[in-house]
Amino acid sequence: MTGSGLVSLPLIGEVKAAGLTLGQFQTAVQAALSDGYLKEPRVNAEVLTFRPFYILGEVTKPGTYPYNGGPDGV
């Protein structure tokens, strides 16, 4: 993904990802692939890294923390 919020993919070029949920992005890629390339494409996308978040103020441990997707850290 570039800083512009676009993902460059083979066959279909750039697809907007910024501001979309993961499901919306998958649907956009499926639609682009359906437009003349594949009959019934199945697309699976996954977020590999998230931006860290910051805790500031009157707390015991202020600072930068990595985002963990859930209780199991995925």
Please check whether residue 65 is in contact with residue 52, taking contact to mean a CB–CB distance below 8 angstroms: yes
pLDDT in tens, 44-59: 998 887 888 899 989 9
Cβ neighbours of residue 73 under 8 Å, at least 6 residues apart? Answer: none
pLDDT in tens, 3-48: 788 999 988 999 999 999 999 999 999 999 999 888 999 999 988 8
What residue spans define the domains of the chain?
A: 6-65
